[in-house]
Chains A and B, each alone.
Chain A
Amino acid sequence: DGGITQSPKYLFRKEGQNVTLSCEQNLNHDAMYWYRQDPGQGLRLIYYSQIVNDFQKGDIAEGYSVSREKKESFPLTVTSAQKNPTAFYLCASSTRTGGGQPQHFGDGTRLSIL
């Protein structure tokens, strides 16, 4: 079955440490996205990529970095510069043909501070 796989499901970060969240899709989608979800805040866009080797900052990109070396993969690194990283992180993908296309979501990674 086609879908989006995020790993790990739970992740713990120590102070001053960078951590990388994995996102893989086999839907053959061009566009991929990372969102952050905080309680009562909805989802906010961190980064997105519409094509391999290209990506754009979303609304809350500070303290995060991404790469898009393969169509199937869009890993997110939470750097030590992100002072409040505890949140639920969701990866999504869609076709690139227009804003009317729905996004498909993974099951998320919950990141906590040790």
Chain B
Amino acid sequence: GNSVTQMEGPVTLSEEAFLTINCTYTATGYPSLFWYVQYPGEGLQLLLKATKADDKGSNKGFEATYRKETTSFHLEKGSVQVSDSAVYFCALSVHSGGGADGLTFGKGTHLIIQP
């Protein structure tokens, strides 16, 4: 089956620090990979995605590279801000013959940025 493993939180950093949140996956087939962000009491927002090996997704200063050889999709940001405090989810989907199936999520990493 499919699964996603991401580092447990909470992760606490000071403002302007470098961020890495690790994510590894197992999948039957060739997955597409996603990072979603969730702010308190809200739904999930797509942060970035990558659909094939060596693709780099980027958005709002965040980046992640699809590494097929290490089955990883680590999230990075060079300088975090207090407004980046949220829960981050790594997820994958594998396209079946019938169309778009559901996402498989990691458990989420709670990021706390201190001023």
| A residues adjacent to B (C-beta < 8 A) | 4, 6, 30-31, 33, 35, 40-45, 48, 50-51, 58, 90, 92, 94-108
Contacts and interface: CB of A to CB of B under 8 A. Distances in A.
A42 B100 contact: no
A31 B99 CA distance: 9
B89 A42 contact: yes
B100 A50 contact: yes
Interface string B29-42: 00110101000011
B99 A107 contact: no
Interface of B: 4, 31-32, 34, 36, 41-46, 49, 51, 89, 93-96, 98-108
Contact of B107 (A42, A90, A95, A103): A42
Contacts of A96: 99-100
A98 B98 CA distance: 9
A93 B98 CA distance: 16
The 7 A-B pairs of least Cβ separation, nearest first, read: A99-B95, A105-B43, A45-B102, A100-B51, A99-B93, A42-B107, A100-B32
B98 A42 contact: no
